Structure 1
Amino acid sequence: MTIRPLFRFTLALALSAVSGLVLAAPPKAFTATYRVLRDGSPMGEATVSLKPLGNGQWEYSKHVRGTSGLAAMLGANLDEVSHFRWKGDVPEAVSYDYRLDAAIKTKQRHVMVDWGKHQVTVDEGKGAVTYPAQPGMVERNTTALAIGLALRDGQKQIALPVAVKQEVETQRFKVTGKEKVTVPAGGFDAVRVDRTDADRGFSAWYAPERYPLPVKLSQKDGGDLTMELVSFR
């Protein structure tokens, strides 16, 4: 009585392996900490975390606290919170909240995706903007996670539909080589990824067999900022 079900299971497993249908599982919940530098000098610390919400959605958050230099003097804090659902290995956006607080400046953005209407609404406090959603769409906060998962799956060139202020923008990234990187978390033989569709100075170094997030990230859009991994648990 058990031979037929066992045969069917074995056959299905073999066919899946041959056809490449066995997909990697989404990452488990984690918390990572980073050292943040501006122009090469310590500026603050960041905590990045992923956790399930229990309703088919997940929360991915990043909290940056200014602890040194001008950032500490201004009491600068940045909070980004994303809710998403998994679409394969892609963290498909559901909502995103951004808030920057400093002594001289406050900035916020709220993004909501209505998948029933396939519509994105972006509100920065000056009137909402709406535009069509795109399946598999991420937003700025979850982009680094989506890149890491694509690298884990063996992709060398990555095109991501990203919900920005007024539209879904296709951002393109490419593996440009392997480099040895030393950060507070240790030394890594890392894969370097650069953005190729815009001259915005985005580079990230990943150890995709170990972590879904970069061990180092550098971005020159809005200042020479670098994040270096301190711990991952």
Structure 2
Amino acid sequence: MAHRLSLRGILAFGLALASNLALAAQPHAFTATYAVSKDGAPLGRATVILKPAGNGQWEYSKHMQGTSGLAAMLGANLAETSRFRWDGDVPEAISYDYRMEASIKTKQRHLAVDWASHQVTVDEGKGVQTYAAVPGMVERNTTALAIGLALRNGQHRIELPVAVRQEIEHQQFEVTGTEKVGVPAGSYDAVRVDRTDADRGFSAWYVPDRYPLPVKLSQKDGGDLTMELVSFQ
């Protein structure tokens, strides 16, 4: 006897397929290392790690240690750790911790999102600030990852709600061309992405079919800081 597929069955199949496609779009755990320079001079090395953290959450961390020049002299270390949950293929923020240590100063920031009340709390040790959360928001540490996943999905103009110190910034990024890029990890035909809504210089070069992170990133805010991929596994 032929079996007829009910409307409920069709809908269930469609939802399951959509869920599987969304999961397939999410990257696996990885470790990436970068050579870091400032104003053209070697500064140090950064390690970026993505790993599951349990209870449906993921941890994305970046640790940079100054190994050259003034950064080495000052014993500078930078650590950023994010917790997030997947909203489709967007790393939706749960918390973010920033700590910069050097012999002359220490700077830190803690950001937490209460999704039950849709409220963001930011504490830099000088008083707590709060503002409303936005669905699908990221924060400064996971922005590069979110851009890479959007590129892999074929987007050329990307808008991200990014949680910063006092508010949500709706940051705009756009693919501005393809360029040959040589970094310690190899030579690539890379997609260049520039931030288009601010005067601060931000450029990143991605190879979306190979890596969810940029192979090169240049950030002029606070100095001409450049990161170049050394390894990815």
Aligned position for 1:101: 101
CA distance 1:16–1:223, shift in 2 (3 Å): same
Residues 24-71 of structure 1 show CA distances to partners (whole Å, capped at 9, x for unaligned) of 420000000000001111100000010001210000000000000000
Q: How far apart are the structure 1 equivalents of 2:159 and 2:106? A: 32
CA distance 1:13–1:186, shift in 2 (3 Å): farther
Aligned position for 1:53: 53
- The alpha-carbon deviation at position 2 of structure 1 amounts to 9.7
- Give the letter aligned to residue 214 of structure 1: P
Aligned position for 2:83: 83
Q: Does residue 1:154 correspond to 2:154, yes or no?
A: yes
Q: How far apart are the structure 2 equivalents of 1:131 and 1:92? A: 16
Q: How far apart are the structure 1 equivalents of 2:97 and 2:55? A: 19
Residues 87-122 of structure 1 show CA distances to partners (whole Å, capped at 9, x for unaligned) of 011000000000000011110000000000000000
CA distance 1:46–1:15, shift in 2 (3 Å): closer
**How many residue pairs align between the two structures?**
228
- The alpha-carbon deviation at position 139 of structure 1 amounts to 0.2
SS in 1 for 2:179: strand
Aligned position for 1:172: 172
SS in 1 for 2:25: coil
Q: How far apart are the structure 1 equivalents of 2:137 and 2:98? A: 17
Q: Indicate the RMSD between aligned Cα atoms, in angstroms.
A: 2.3
- The alpha-carbon deviation at position 189 of structure 1 amounts to 0.3
- The alpha-carbon deviation at position 168 of structure 1 amounts to 0.6
Q: How does 1:207-226 map to 2 (within 5 A)?
A: 207-226=207-226
SS in 1 for 2:48: strand
Q: How far apart are the structure 1 equivalents of 2:132 and 2:164? A: 12
Q: How far apart are the structure 2 equivalents of 1:88 and 1:153? A: 12
Give the gaps of 5 or more residues in structure 2: none
Q: Does residue 1:195 correspond to 2:195, yes or no?
A: yes
Q: Does residue 1:33 correspond to 2:30, yes or no?
A: no
Q: How far apart are the structure 1 equivalents of 2:177 and 2:121? A: 37
Q: How far apart are the structure 1 equivalents of 2:13 and 2:210? A: 26
- The alpha-carbon deviation at position 11 of structure 1 amounts to 11
TM-score, normalised to structure 2, is 0.92
Q: How does 1:68-79 map to 2 (within 5 A)?
A: 68-79=68-79
CA distance 1:10–1:180, shift in 2 (3 Å): farther
Q: How far apart are the structure 1 equivalents of 2:155 and 2:227? A: 23
Identity of aligned residues (%): 76
Write out the 4+ residue segments of structure 1 that deviate beyond 3 Å after TM superposition.
1-5, 8-17, 21-24
SS in 2 for 1:31: strand
TM-score, normalised to structure 1, is 0.92
- Give the letter aligned to residue 204 of structure 1: A
Q: How far apart are the structure 1 equivalents of 2:62 and 2:171? A: 21
CA distance 1:177–1:60, shift in 2 (3 Å): same
Aligned position for 1:136: 136
Residues 138-178 of structure 1 show CA distances to partners (whole Å, capped at 9, x for unaligned) of 00000000000000000000000000000011000000000
CA distance 1:162–1:4, shift in 2 (3 Å): same
Give the gaps of 5 or more residues in structure 1: none
Q: Is the 8 A contact 1:24 1:153 kept in 2?
A: no
Q: How far apart are the structure 2 equivalents of 1:61 and 1:173? A: 23
Q: How far apart are the structure 2 equivalents of 1:139 and 1:116? A: 18
Aligned position for 2:110: 110
CA distance 1:14–1:137, shift in 2 (3 Å): closer
Q: Is the 8 A contact 1:16 1:22 kept in 2?
A: no
